[in-house]
A = this chain, B = another copy of it.
Amino acid sequence: MTEQQDFTISTLGAAKIPSPIKLSKVADDLIANYVTDADLIIPDHYGAPDAPKSYRREDLLEKAGPREYIYFDPSKVHAAIVTCGGLCPGLNAVIRAIVMCLWNQYGVRRITGIRYGYRGFLPEYAIPTMELNPEIVDNIHTLGGTILGSSRGGNRVPEIVDAIERLGISMLFAIGGDGTQRGALAIAEEIEARKLKVAVVGIPKTIDNDLSFIQRSFGFETAVAEASKVITCANVEARGAIRGISLVKVMGRESGFIAVNTALASSDVDFVLIPEVPFDLYGDNGFYAALEKRVLANNHAVVLVAEGAGQEHLKASLGCDASGNKKLGDIGTFLKAGIQAYFAEKNIDIGLRYIDPSYIIRAIPASPSDAIYCARLGTNAVHAAMSGRTKCLIAQVNNKIVHIPTAVSVSKRNCVSPESSLWRDVLEATGQPVLMLNNEPKLD
């Protein structure tokens, strides 16, 4: 962590309205207290020796939660919720929590769902909005996906702010990934430029769990659990055939967290390929030779590849998608063909199965543990917006729910460090070579 981070949260103005939520202000009366400005969290700085000895206010993260005074008069609030990008377990649970907290705790009665991502704001699509209330959202957390629908792109900022003005929206909850949050920030800046009083609060969504500063992204754990079931099947298939090889592709555009955790959870994986760890395909130390060795020794192998792995082996750049994400070549079908060809040339009969379960994994409902997390994120997003905070995200840091400035969070990504104990555990669990590079570093 470098010194330049400033974790100060922007606000629309002073919070002067007494909150309708009644909490205690004294300790030890068995009743929860309001969160105050003194509730601050130290960001991640494990390894005490090199940790800073003291902190400035801007080095610390605000704890999320209900404040004694709020900025908005609940009777005048018109809240809007939008979900963007690919599906992720828990989207509906977040939507539900936002609606429940607005309605039941603050008494807000005007809540609008923007449908199909930012496109739902654009007149050209003519998509009607959806009124939200507790009855509508009561059971949605038991369903996968998002009742609002989603889409990529569409973050044409001035037009969106036009729509926000037209609809009279006073707070926007934007649930989505990096691109979405960058969009939300631009929207908030345009709102500021127009001198509007609209809070924009983001709930970061990345099934890949690769947000920097953020301990855990919702849906990630559910995705790993579902992917583990697929690995069990892949292993059954591989063992059922003569020299059976199962190749499974999972999500992970720029980070291998899903692949890594799935391999650790299932213990049936022989090779994990992730974007953070480069590998050669050919040569004595390459992946194909390692795979051959394993298959000849055990008669079966399971290979788990993150979608962003090995992009260096694929064709030249493919541009970006509507959300501004780099388009990836399909490493799954590429490896499928490559393995097939490698063993054909060696005249070794194999039984190769390729499994791509992405749509199944991302469409299931949140696990109980993720459901709790989603509920807390949604609730605290409401507390943040009601208190007038804006241009911030809600996320967990050091096991606490905090506010993070959007600008800080989107500035970089989290990765699996090849030198971490996490990756070390994967190497142990799979038994794969430490590095599958032909000129790898040597350990004495």
Residues of A within 8 A of B (CB): 22-24, 27-33, 35, 38-42, 45-49, 51, 53-55, 60, 63, 65-66, 87, 101, 104-105, 116, 119, 125, 127, 141-146, 149-151, 215, 221, 224-225, 228, 230, 232-234, 236-237, 239-242, 246, 261-262, 264-267, 277, 351, 353, 355-357, 359-360, 363-364, 367-369, 371-372, 375-376, 379, 398-401, 418-421, 423-425, 427-429, 431, 434-435, 441, 443
Contact = CB atoms under 8 A, between A and B. Distances in A.
B424 A375 contact: no
A242 B149 contact: yes
Contacts of A261: 368, 372
A375 B425 contact: yes
Given A23-B424, A264-B372, A355-B359, A239 B149 contact: yes
A249 to B, nearest CB: 12
A241 B116 contact: yes
27 contacts: A22-B443, A27-B419, A29-B441, A33-B419, A53-B54, A104-B431, A116-B241, A119-B242, A144-B236, A145-B237, A149-B242, A150-B240, A225-B368, A228-B368, A233-B363, A237-B359, A237-B363, A246-B359, A264-B375, A264-B376, A265-B369, A266-B371, A267-B375, A356-B356, A369-B369, A379-B428, A398-B399
Contacts of A29: 419, 441
Given A233-B144, A399-B215, A359 B353 contact: yes
A287 to B, nearest CB: 15
B359 A360 contact: no
Contacts of A48: 40-42, 55, 60
A32 B424 contact: yes
- Name, among A35, A221, A236, the residue most crowded by chain B CB atoms within 10 Å (CB to CB): A236
A116 B28 CA distance: 43
Given A41-B46, A224-B369, A368-B265, A421 B32 contact: yes
Copies of the chain in the assembly:
4
A363 to B, nearest CB: 4
Contacts of A443: 22-24, 31
Contacts of A125: 242
Contacts of A224: 368-369
A83 to B, nearest CB: 9
Given A42-B46, A376-B425, A367 B225 contact: yes
A48 to B, nearest CB: 5
A239 B65 contact: no
A233 B143 CA distance: 9
A181 to B, nearest CB: 19
B419 A364 contact: no
A31 B363 contact: no
A427 B46 CA distance: 34
Given A32-B423, A42-B48, A105-B428, 11 more contacts: A41-B47, A66-B424, A87-B237, A143-B236, A144-B233, A151-B351, A215-B399, A265-B368, A353-B359, A355-B360, A379-B425
Contacts of A424: 23, 32, 66
Contacts of A144: 232-233, 236
A129 B326 CA distance: 51
A127 B163 CA distance: 46
A325 to B, nearest CB: 16
B151 A242 contact: yes
A232 to B, nearest CB: 7
Contact of A421 (B46, B65, B221): B65
A420 B28 CA distance: 11
A372 B265 contact: yes
